[in-house]
Amino acid sequence: MKTQILKIATILFITIFTISCGGSDDAPSPPVTDYFMRAKIDGVQFEALAPRILAGRTADRITITAVLPDLRNFEIYTDDYPSNPVGSYTIPATSGTTYSASLRFGDGTSIFSAVSCCGLECAIGTRGNLEITSISATEISGTFSFIGTQTSGTCPRLKKIVTEGSFKSGITL
* Phi/psi-derived region of residue 80, left when phi > 0, alpha when psi is between -120 and 50, beta in every other case: left
Collapse the DSSP code of 141 into the 3-class scheme (helix H, G, I; strand E, B; otherwise coil) and give the result.
Answer: strand
* Closest by CA position to 104, among listed 52, 54, 67, 136: 67
Q: With 70 as the cut, is the pLDDT of residue 164 above it? A: yes
Residue 87, pLDDT score = 93
Residue 83, pLDDT score = 87
Q: With 50 as the cut, is the pLDDT of residue 16 above it? A: no
Residue 115, pLDDT score = 85
Per the document, the length of the chain is 173
Residue 15, pLDDT score = 36
Own/partner pairs, 40-45, CB within 8 angstroms, 24+ separation: 40/162, 40/163, 40/164, 40/165, 41/105, 41/107, 41/160, 41/161, 41/162, 42/160, 42/161, 43/161
Q: Which tens digit of pLDDT belongs to each residue from 122-157?
A: 766 778 999 999 999 999 999 999 999 999 888 888
Amino acid code (one letter) for 66: A
Average pLDDT for 1-27:
41
Q: With 80 as the cut, is the pLDDT of residue 25 above it? A: no
Residue 129, pLDDT score = 95
* Phi/psi-derived region of residue 120, left when phi > 0, alpha when psi is between -120 and 50, beta in every other case: alpha
Task: Determine the Cα–Cα distance for residues 35 and 18; give it in Å rounded to an integer.
Answer: 36
Q: With 70 as the cut, is the pLDDT of residue 24 above it? A: no
Task: Determine the Cα–Cα distance for residues 160 and 83; give it in Å rounded to an integer.
Answer: 32
Task: Determine the Cα–Cα distance for residues 141 and 65; give it in Å rounded to an integer.
Answer: 12
Q: Which tens digit of pLDDT belongs to each residue from 58-116?
A: 989 999 999 999 999 999 999 998 889 999 999 888 777 888 889 999 999 999 999 88
Average pLDDT along the chain: 82
| Contact status, residue 77 vs residue 96, Cβ threshold 8 Å | no
Q: With 90 as the cut, is the pLDDT of residue 28 above it? A: no
